Structure 1
């Protein structure tokens, strides 16, 4: 993965396939990389494809417990817990965005503010260069 995957992320949903052990084993690598670029964002772990084997919902997955991450059992095929997962992820992301103390978030916010100031400063330039008619209502 690359840092651009995480640019401006406010939450992460890490999904593994309960039928493919390799996807569970990859969680550790993905999580390490996520924390390198976005150390503070909320993260949710998702065990997908429970429709194929409901016994998986009784299984304990150490990865989520080890990092104190919420674990959702879902089936994308039949929709089990999908809406709840996304509602919770959105709620966590919005809360994080409004309450973040992460240095990179503060830098990104300042850059966005700077960009907005630049755009506001550019408006008089457009008026000075003959673009007045595009700014006024017809």
Structure 2
């Protein structure tokens, strides 16, 4: 199932499996696609809930395959559709389907400052990301600092090692949440304008052809 969220409402689009879910979401052709990676229960979905709905929920159930968040923003004087993709529980398999990474323009990687293993596992997630989208900008989020304020004084070597911007965040009290998502949109937009990815260029042309055919 693809769980789509836009504004304050939500709906569902049924798919037979994860591949169908990812393909259906990619077919919408958003202007920007930003993926969110990290272990289960690090707070990925709650971060977006705080950003988009400004309504933190203490508990949230994962849905099968994918949670797709749709967000509209003004870029260069035009209203643009942004897709934020959340793993929705698929991360328990320690690997994502290639379609999850397809044509992503930026990535937000999240770990839980209360669980060291979620930080260690970012190496695995980063390696898989680089197999599919090695050049996109990556933003690193140290989440749940409200439960461990001292974590905001800690240095995390992964950020400097891979040239990632590090954000100390809390979905609970909202610390830096809006900033990280807005910065991700800006980074994805800049990447899209500068990219020379051949497949991205081909897909852009095909999308324009489809739009012309529908006109």
User: Is the 1:40–1:102 contact (alpha carbons within 8 Å) kept by the matching residues of 2?
Assistant: no
Residues 12-54 of structure 1: per-residue CA shift (max 9 Å, x gap):
0000000111111111111111111112111101000000111
Gaps of 5+ in 1: 124-138
State the secondary structure of the residue aligned to 1:47.
strand
- Relative to its length, the structure with more strand (as a share) is 2
State the secondary structure of the residue aligned to 2:139.
strand
TM-score, with structure 2 as normaliser: 0.53
Deviation at 1:98, TM superposition (A): 1.8
Deviation at 1:110, TM superposition (A): 2.5
Match of 2:154 among 36, 54, 59: 59
Match of 2:137 among 29, 34, 42: 42
The aligned residue for residue 126 of structure 2 is: 31
The aligned residue for residue 13 of structure 1 is: 108
Gaps of 5+ in 2: 1-95
Q: Distance in 1 between matches of 2:166 and 2:107?
A: 12
Q: Give RMSD over aligned pairs.
A: 1.5
Pair 1:102-2:197 in alignment: yes
Q: Distance in 2 between matches of 1:63 and 1:40?
A: 16
Question: How many residues end up aligned between the 2 structures?
Answer: 120
The ranges of structure 1 where at least 4 consecutive aligned residues each deviate by more than 6 angstroms after the TM superposition are none
- Counterparts of residues 109-128 of structure 1 (less than 5 Å): 109-117=204-212, 119-120=213-214
